[in-house]
Structure 1
């Protein structure tokens, strides 16, 4: 199912256009008909400098997408597009400035006309306006269990995790099991309060908190006994397993049933 969903996502214009842009130079250089037209004096082979640029690109994409926590095919593509297009821009300029300028203009035009598709599915998320609103909500009803994502809208890993968190909220939300988000980019005091580093190189974005009885029960990513931050990949299955969402859901559902039975008993008496 995940592969089918990824395949349907890739069929959207944003992805296949960016894939074409990312493969443009190598495709043109290795296709004899196009190569002979664009590079009449070339032997249609990648030279040493071009090979070095492509090899460096592969290393950068692997490191950056893994660091961003990309765990699906679509995530890997989205995270790598910016690096592959920059590499192609360098290659086109290296080949001929007359090709580099139109390619650069095409990148700008594509960015303006084809923004990356955002998640538009159902969600049951409360967006808190600062840490105090979250604290007030926790104090108001301590019987509600909260799953809160501390994030920054500009952070790639947070962008990748957004549809996963939205889907989880739609699947597990109850009257006493709720999902919330807190943007440390807009409310930097939240980063201090919840001990989350909010810099561009932060490995703590996103951070998911499980809050019950008005206090924090657990978080991911978390630190080990020595204070070293443990890496956590924010896939749907990983989050479900780490926080035992199925178990919490059943427990909260049973509490709701018990509360309803008690209310009916009180009314009959």
Structure 2
């Protein structure tokens, strides 16, 4: 992700209701902890302090590892918030189990009412309606290859992977290979036409490579019963599965 796109996305995250509510929940621990320090028994207060130190150390290590290994800031922030919620709830349980239950309830309500904002940088991918995609695939004067992402931004998986496709399109799009996005959350009736089941939105996103209008590769794959094989999705896996480096080299070499 470019530095400009990253900054724009982080600025949006900072002002988004999703992050604001999480920030308020995390910040509330400070006044609660300060008030409780005068009410807890010395032994409980000492135990709580030890657990707080352990939580900070473990969380810092996890955040550092995620920052190094993750491909996008969306993944880093999403994973960091998840572990922060787990540690905060655990600390609250040490302080008082009623408080721990309240924090768990607050985070459940935040999860229900809000969601992490998706990446909005378009890159070189084109947002298409199903009719537009069908027209592009059947016209002979368009790209030989079309790599299309079918997604629904109501799912956490699609939100976490929402920057992968635009970034790949910036690197690999050319006159022979184009990138398109179809939002099945807006056009659910199009799913069946492309062999995608919406029985479980957790199966999205689905990526299909078309050559001259015909499907040649799909990820994740379907078995003979139409069940989706579950895989984690990364930019590296998409590059390998659709041989994007080979397509780019073929274009450079005039093939």
TM-score category of the 2 structures, normalised to the smaller one: 0.5 to 0.7
Q: Which has the larger radius of gyration?
A: 1
CA distance in 2, matches of 1:208, 1:217: 11
State whether structure 2 residue 166 is matched by structure 1 residue 173: no
Q: Answer yes or no: is the 8 Å Cα contact 1:36–1:44 preserved in 2.
A: no
Are the structure 2 counterparts of residues 224 and 190 from structure 1 closer, same or farther at C-alpha, using a change threshold of 3 Å?
A: same
- 3-state DSSP of counterpart to 1:162: coil
Q: Answer yes or no: is the 8 Å Cα contact 1:223–1:230 preserved in 2.
A: yes
Render the CA deviation track for 1:60-113: whole Å, top value 9, x for unaligned.
xxxxxxxxxx87685154156368548846975983879959x959x97xx99x
Q: Answer yes or no: is the 8 Å Cα contact 2:118–2:153 preserved in 1.
A: no
Which residue of structure 2 aligns with residue 161 of structure 1?
161
CA distance in 1, matches of 2:241, 2:99: 53
Are the structure 2 counterparts of residues 195 and 210 from structure 1 closer, same or farther at C-alpha, using a change threshold of 3 Å?
A: same
State whether structure 2 residue 194 is matched by structure 1 residue 194: yes
Which ranges of 4 or more aligned residues in structure 1 deviate by more than 4 Å?
A: 11-26, 70-74, 86-94, 96-101, 115-118, 225-228
Which residue of structure 1 aligns with residue 234 of structure 2?
235
The alpha carbon displacement at 1:140 in A equals 1.3
Which residue of structure 1 aligns with residue 213 of structure 2?
214
Q: Answer yes or no: is the 8 Å Cα contact 2:221–2:229 preserved in 1.
A: yes
The alpha carbon displacement at 1:142 in A equals 6.2
CA distance in 1, matches of 2:76, 2:158: 14
Pairwise mapping of residues 91-110 of structure 1 onto structure 2 (< 5 A)?
92=92, 95=96
Are the structure 2 counterparts of residues 247 and 96 from structure 1 closer, same or farther at C-alpha, using a change threshold of 3 Å?
A: closer
Which residue of structure 1 aligns with residue 140 of structure 2?
141
CA distance in 1, matches of 2:35, 2:73: 30
Pairwise mapping of residues 1-269 of structure 1 onto structure 2 (< 5 A)?
14=14, 34=34, 37=37, 39-41=39-41, 42-45=44-47, 74-75=74-75, 77-79=77-79, 81=81, 85=85, 88=88, 92=92, 95=96, 116=116, 118-119=118-119, 121=121, 123-130=123-130, 132-141=131-140, 144=143, 145-200=145-200, 202=202, 204-225=203-224, 227-255=226-254
CA distance in 2, matches of 1:194, 1:185: 14
Q: Answer yes or no: is the 8 Å Cα contact 1:125–1:181 preserved in 2.
A: yes
Gaps of 5+ in 1: 55-69, 259-269
The alpha carbon displacement at 1:173 in A equals 1.1
Please give the TM-score of this superposition, normalised by the length of structure 2. 0.64
The alpha carbon displacement at 1:185 in A equals 0.7
Gaps of 5+ in 2: 56-69
Render the CA deviation track for 1:196-247: whole Å, top value 9, x for unaligned.
2224553x20000000111101100002456543222221111101110011
The alpha carbon displacement at 1:179 in A equals 0.3
CA distance in 1, matches of 2:216, 2:234: 20
CA distance in 1, matches of 2:215, 2:230: 20
